[in-house]
Amino acid sequence: MISNDELCNAFAKKKGILQTYELYDLGLSKYEIKNLLQADVLERIMKGYFKLAAKDFTEAELIQRLYPDSVICMDSALFYYGYSDRTPIEWYLAVDKDISKARFNIDYPQIKPYYLEPYLLKLGVENGLFEQLHLKIFSRDRVICDCLFYEMKMDIEIFNKAILNYIKDPQKNISKLMEYAKVRKVEKKVYNKIGTWL
C-alpha cells in the first residue's frame, strides 16, 4: 500500500488531479481506491478523475486542469469583456468536436460545451485572467462573430446587449472582426447588425 506522503507527492506532481490509470500506476488496486474514497482521503471529481479530499480547487483551477485545451467562449466570454451583465451559471467552453462527451459529465463546475472543428479552436484565442489564473479565451471580435453565428440559439436580450456593447467598445478591432466573420461565414450578418453603426 502506498504511503500518504507518496500519494501526496504523486498528486502534487500532477497539479492536484490524477486519473484512474495513474492511481493504478502507483500500485493502487480498485479495492484500495474504493477504500480511500470511503475514508475521505480521495474524492472523485468526475468519472476517472480524482483529487485529495483535503484539497479544494477554485472553478478556474478545475477548468485549467480538466480541460486544458478548451477555450472560454460565448456567455462566459461576453461577461468577461463586460458585454453582458448576467453572470453565467455555467462555464461556456469551446472544445474539439471529437472529444468524448463523457468528459463533461461533471457536477462542479457546471460546463456548457460548444463542439467545434479543431481549426476554429485556434481562431482569435487570447489569454484571460480568471481567479488569478490565465485561461484561453476567444477575443472580443471572435466572440461577437460566434454570437452572430449562434444568434438563433441565444437569449435575445444577451445577444442585443453584446452587439451594442461591442459597438461602443474602443478596444474592438473591425479588421479582425471581418477576418473572423469570413471564417465563421457571418460577413452578411456583420454588415446588417453592426455595419450601420461603424
Q: Compute φ and ψ for 92, nearest 5 degrees.
A: -85, 115
**Which pLDDT belongs to residue 195?**
76
Q: Compute φ and ψ for 89, nearest 5 degrees.
A: -85, -15
**Which pLDDT belongs to residue 197?**
64
Total residues belonging to the chain: 198
Residue-wise DSSP of 154-188: S-HHHHHHHHHHHHH-TT--HHHHHHHHHHHT-HH
**What is the crossing angle of helices 140-149 and 174-184, to 10°?**
40
Buried residues in 117-140 as b, exposed as e (16+ CB within 10 A): eeebbebbeeebebeeeebbbbbb
pLDDT higher than threshold 70 for residue 107: yes
**Which pLDDT belongs to residue 47?**
87
Mean pLDDT of the region 107-113: 92
pLDDT digits (tens, 9 = 90+) for 27-85: 899 998 999 999 999 999 988 899 999 889 999 999 999 999 999 999 999 999 999 99
**Which pLDDT belongs to residue 196?**
67
Residue-wise DSSP of 5-18: HHHHHHHHHTTT-E
Contact 149, 164 (CB under 8 A): no
* pLDDT confidence tier of residue 5, bands split at 50, 70 and 90: confident
Mean pLDDT of the region 123-139: 95
**Which pLDDT belongs to residue 68?**
92
* Average pLDDT along the chain: 92
Mean pLDDT of the region 101-123: 93
pLDDT higher than threshold 70 for residue 129: yes
User: Cell 478556474 belongs to which residue?
Assistant: 60
Q: Compute φ and ψ for 112, nearest 5 degrees.
A: -120, 100
